[in-house]
Structure 1
Amino acid sequence: MESSTGHQRVDYHLLKVQAEMINQIAQVTRGTLVLNELLPTIANQLHQILQVSGCLMFPTHDPPAMATHQVSFPITQSVESTGEPCLIEVFRHLFQSYHSWLAQGKPLIIPESEGKLPPELKELTYPCDLRAIMMVPLLHGQSCLGSMTLYQCVHEREWTVQEIAFIRGIADHFAIALTHQELEQLYQKQSQELKQKESALKVSEARNRALLEAIPDVIFRVNRDGFYLDWKAAIENPVLFLTNNCIGKHLHNCLPTEVAGLIWEHVEIALESDEMQVIESPVRQDGKLRYFEARIVKSGLDEVAVIVQDITERIEARLTLAQVNDALEVRVQQRTAALRKANQALKGEIIERQKAEEQLRQSEERFRNVVEISSNWMWEMDENAVYTYASPKIWDLLGYEPSEVVGKTPFDLMLKEEAKRVMEILASFTVLKQPFSNLENTRINKNRQLVVLETSGVPIFDRLGKFCGYRGVDRDITKRKQTEV
């Protein structure tokens, strides 16, 4: 009876000490203590509580011990005098030899090193007179991050079940703290890199903006189909007048027919040849004939940048210095050719529009093809949150065919309370017609199982600016959420 009571007192004492140590380790994850500063304290406490010769702790990525406490000074002194490896080297070899065993979460318990160790390790441990070893892995998930080792020299020792459980509990929390420290360091590094990239991007954007502002000419971007994407006004007296209303419109809607046709023709040439195109042409402005030069250079897969410069004075000087009659004749021929092309362009306008519609259809088909092979579920919904399109990926996520979802709302695939929650969140974005991202929500798949999705969407507007609904993607984050739990 007294023996049982004594064991209970020992167990209670170890549990109390273990709780205190775990609390200290927890402060590392909260940021109130530094792990490297705490390790020597824990090692010293373990030595005193369990009356062992020493305690070593080290991670796999850092061979030198993070914390060491050795009390057998004569043995250490003899090791140094004989030139034999130190205890840290001994346990590092031991850890490498039993790594596969430790990686399974099993502690290495050796009551007597003699007869238990491989021959090559016996030679290492002999000068240290090791009698007992307890090596507990630092495990987190499927990763073995290192080990916590207690050892006894000179005297025999048997490790008790309570002592092993005591050390394993502390080691498990150390592994968590070590993982947290590594993640925190990685986060700080990535945050610093991100700040540097953002700073460099701002500098680059400011420099590019300054360069653009310094250019006195009209600059605009136009795609292969002849629609304006963006523009910058000339500093003064632009030869071609553009306004913000031109964005999204066709060249023919904003420029004289002959000028629009000439620029559009060379847009196609620049895209196909990947070479800058330079054109010169007259334009009548305020009843006066002026000349412009347009430099067209490819700036994307299906778009070009156009810099327009007023070269009226240059042309007039050229005409004055050259043979005026010949120059005028050439210009007349050029204007005649331009007018001829303009007439052809006007006659073929219907055909060109049909071509544009066909290109739009092909563009939509390419988009659909991308959607079909995407790893995410892509969808479209109208202004009432009713699905109007669902990509085949929904089969992998929820087990439904696209046709089974079209005509339904996201809330039809949710539990009642979840539908109410998500509906309120989505309504706050819909009212303002704003995009939303990373909206976590739980759906019910066809097998009545819950699947956690992460939803992002952008508003859709028609050509008149009327809100038509949302287009977006869903991805399955169920495994990630289970891991977080």
Structure 2
Amino acid sequence: MESSTGHQRVDYHLLKVQAEMINQIAQVTRGTLVLNELLPTIANQLHQILQVSGCLMFPTHDPPAMATHQVSFPITQSVESTGEPCLIEVFRHLFQSYHSWLAQGKPLIIPESEGKLPPELKQLTYPCDLRAIMMVPLLHGQSCLGSMTLYQCDHEREWTVQEIAFIRGIADHFAIALTHQELEQLYQKQSQELKQKESALKVSEARNRALLEAIPDVIFRVNRDGFYLDWKAAIENPVLFLTNNCIGKHLHNCLPTEVAGLIWEHVEIALESDVMQVIESPVRQDGKLRYFEARIVKSGLDEVAVIVQDITEGIEARLTLAQVNDALEVRVQQRTAALRKANQALKGEIIERQKAEEQLRQSEERFRNVVEISSNWMWEMDENAVYTYASPKVWDLLGYEPSEVVGKTPFDLMSQEEAKRVMEILASFTVLKHPFSNLENTRIHKNRQLVVLETSGVPIFDRLGKFCGYRGVDRDITKRKQTEV
């Protein structure tokens, strides 16, 4: 009877201590305590309450913590002086040897399991005079995260059922706290990476948007169904003029039927083939026949980017030289008739679809595609007119690689007389920090031929409003000038 009462008192005491420790561990998951600071405290409490020689707690992913969270009596002088393996090394070998056993949620109990120890592990434990070991796995789900080990040296000891249950309860909650910490660390890491990516994306978007602003053409985005997603025009009265009211509307609601049908047809081709489509077509605007070139390139899963350039001057020069006005009118009539026939298949009015919410972040690839398909050379220069950026298109215009142009000024690529003339013109804009457009100037190709360019640029300011240079584009108008002559 007295023995039973004594066991009840021991059980009650262990349950009370266990509850206190579990409460401390629970505070880790609530963020009021730090796990690495709590580990030595728990190890020390177990060492004192169970009167063991020592307690060792470590997670498998953090081996240095094994030494930090060990509490034990000093090892005998003979063990230290002979250079035999330390206790941490012994328990590391035990954990590795019995990992599959521990991963099943089973504790390693010695002396009960002593007969099962391989000879090499018996030899390893002998110098440390280990008489009893209780190694309880830190198990969460299907993962073994480490172990909690108590050991006895110098004298024999039998682990009671109550002690084993006591340690297993604490180990289970410690495994939960350890998992919570790992998830929290992973969340913090991913959050930091996301912030870095968002910051890089914003910088990229700012640069690409600035480059797009310098392109003197109409640019718009259309989805597979033919609805406008976005548009911009850097010049007044552009060909295929649009308004903000067009966003969310269908091509047929904003453009002439023939033009809308032609563009929509090639939108589908570009999306299916992933190959840029180039079309030319006339359009009557303000009572005058004008001509445009549209380059259509896939910029998303179900959308394209379209760059529209007014090529009226080039077409008119071509017609004048070739004297084919009548033939071209026939061609236009044939194309118009073909488009009307194709559009007869359309059933009534196309229902307007609700505009999709514009994405907060636009893909860098979308802007890069627009830059690559542009027929213009895009550049940036500092306040001293030194090129700091040149797009690959400079090779087509002047025969130079971008790296050969960066570090030079526009005047380095001109004759002395032309450089003096252009420098005086640019100075008038630079002093006032004003944009300029359609500035004709003659450059010297790498092969020494003369190339006539039409230059447009906008000033660049930093966030404090300080002038930093110009960003703009050059367009080759050599053929047009030769035709005019």
User: TM-score band (shorter)?
Assistant: 0.5 to 0.7
CA contact (8 A) 2:139 2:172 kept: yes
Over residues 439-482 of structure 1, what are the superposed CA-to-partner deviations in whole Å (9 max), with x where a residue is unaligned?
99999999999999999999999999999999999999999999
**Distance apart, 1:229 and its partner CA:** 4.5
Q: Compared with structure 1, are the counterparts of its residues 450 and 134 closer, same or farther at alpha carbon in structure 2 (3 Å cutoff)?
A: farther
**Distance apart, 1:404 and its partner CA:** 72
CA contact (8 A) 2:40 2:69 kept: yes
Q: Helix, strand or coil for the counterpart of 2:75?
A: helix
Larger relative contact order (Cα-Cα within 8 Å, sequence gap ≥ 6): 2
CA contact (8 A) 2:276 2:297 kept: yes
CA distance in 1, matches of 2:192, 2:383: 41
Q: Helix, strand or coil for the counterpart of 1:148?
A: strand
CA contact (8 A) 2:109 2:134 kept: yes
CA distance in 1, matches of 2:474, 2:171: 40
CA contact (8 A) 1:219 1:234 kept: no
Question: Structure 2 matches for 1:190-269, cutoff 5 A?
Answer: 190-223=190-223, 226-247=226-247, 249-267=249-267, 269=269
Q: Compared with structure 1, are the counterparts of its residues 52 and 467 closer, same or farther at alpha carbon in structure 2 (3 Å cutoff)?
A: same
CA distance in 2, matches of 1:383, 1:408: 13
CA contact (8 A) 1:291 1:315 kept: yes
**Distance apart, 1:94 and its partner CA:** 1.7
Q: Helix, strand or coil for the counterpart of 1:388?
A: strand
CA contact (8 A) 2:443 2:452 kept: yes
Q: Compared with structure 1, are the counterparts of its residues 325 and 72 closer, same or farther at alpha carbon in structure 2 (3 Å cutoff)?
A: closer
CA contact (8 A) 1:262 1:338 kept: no
CA contact (8 A) 1:113 1:130 kept: no
**Distance apart, 1:150 and its partner CA:** 0.8
Q: Which moved more, 1:435-444 or 1:293-302?
A: 435-444
CA distance in 1, matches of 2:149, 2:188: 31
Q: Which moved more, 1:308-317 or 1:147-156?
A: 308-317
CA distance in 1, matches of 2:484, 2:437: 20
CA distance in 1, matches of 2:477, 2:388: 24
CA contact (8 A) 2:217 2:238 kept: yes
**Distance apart, 1:155 and its partner CA:** 1.0
CA distance in 2, matches of 1:457, 1:139: 65
CA distance in 1, matches of 2:417, 2:4: 54
Q: Which moved more, 1:32-41 or 1:312-321?
A: 312-321
CA contact (8 A) 1:39 1:66 kept: no
CA contact (8 A) 2:54 2:71 kept: yes
Query: Identity over aligned residues, as a percent?
Result: 98
**Distance apart, 1:57 and its partner CA:** 1.1
Over residues 343-402 of structure 1, what are the superposed CA-to-partner deviations in whole Å (9 max), with x where a residue is unaligned?
999999999999999999999999999999999999999999999999999999999999
CA distance in 1, matches of 2:197, 2:422: 35
Q: Compared with structure 1, are the counterparts of its residues 445 and 371 closer, same or farther at alpha carbon in structure 2 (3 Å cutoff)?
A: same
Q: Compared with structure 1, are the counterparts of its residues 187 and 396 closer, same or farther at alpha carbon in structure 2 (3 Å cutoff)?
A: farther
CA distance in 2, matches of 1:78, 1:11: 38
Structure 1 unaligned spans of 5+: none
TM-score by length of 1: 0.62
CA contact (8 A) 1:113 1:132 kept: no
Q: Helix, strand or coil for the counterpart of 1:353?
A: coil
Does 2:160 align with 1:163?
A: no
**Distance apart, 1:39 and its partner CA:** 1.3
CA contact (8 A) 2:58 2:69 kept: no
CA contact (8 A) 2:459 2:471 kept: yes
Q: Compared with structure 1, are the counterparts of its residues 232 and 142 closer, same or farther at alpha carbon in structure 2 (3 Å cutoff)?
A: same
CA distance in 2, matches of 1:230, 1:290: 23
CA contact (8 A) 1:53 1:70 kept: no
Q: Which moved more, 1:61-70 or 1:397-406?
A: 397-406
CA distance in 2, matches of 1:460, 1:42: 62
CA distance in 1, matches of 2:440, 2:315: 63
Q: Compared with structure 1, are the counterparts of its residues 469 and 285 closer, same or farther at alpha carbon in structure 2 (3 Å cutoff)?
A: closer
**Distance apart, 1:11 and its partner CA:** 3.1
CA distance in 2, matches of 1:373, 1:299: 11
CA distance in 1, matches of 2:166, 2:476: 40
Q: Would you say how many aligned residue pairs link Structure 1 and Structure 2?
A: 485
Q: Helix, strand or coil for the counterpart of 2:482?
A: helix
Q: Compared with structure 1, are the counterparts of its residues 127 and 350 closer, same or farther at alpha carbon in structure 2 (3 Å cutoff)?
A: closer
Q: Helix, strand or coil for the counterpart of 1:197?
A: helix
CA distance in 2, matches of 1:151, 1:483: 97
CA contact (8 A) 1:297 1:304 kept: yes
**Distance apart, 1:124 and its partner CA:** 0.4
**Distance apart, 1:61 and its partner CA:** 2.6
Q: Compared with structure 1, are the counterparts of its residues 320 and 170 closer, same or farther at alpha carbon in structure 2 (3 Å cutoff)?
A: same
Over residues 140-192 of structure 1, what are the superposed CA-to-partner deviations in whole Å (9 max), with x where a residue is unaligned?
23332221111111111122233222222221221111111111111112222
CA distance in 2, matches of 1:465, 1:84: 71
**Distance apart, 1:224 and its partner CA:** 5.3
**Distance apart, 1:99 and its partner CA:** 2.7
Q: Which moved more, 1:403-412 or 1:41-50?
A: 403-412
Task: Quote the RMSD (CA, aligned, Å).
Answer: 25.3
Q: Compared with structure 1, are the counterparts of its residues 6 and 77 closer, same or farther at alpha carbon in structure 2 (3 Å cutoff)?
A: same
Over residues 41-88 of structure 1, what are the superposed CA-to-partner deviations in whole Å (9 max), with x where a residue is unaligned?
221222222221111111233344535677776635433332322211
CA contact (8 A) 1:216 1:235 kept: yes
Structure 2 unaligned spans of 5+: none
Q: Which moved more, 1:364-373 or 1:196-205?
A: 364-373
Q: Which moved more, 1:417-426 or 1:41-50?
A: 417-426
Over residues 104-131 of structure 1, what are the superposed CA-to-partner deviations in whole Å (9 max), with x where a residue is unaligned?
3332221377645222211101111111
Q: Compared with structure 1, are the counterparts of its residues 467 and 318 closer, same or farther at alpha carbon in structure 2 (3 Å cutoff)?
A: closer
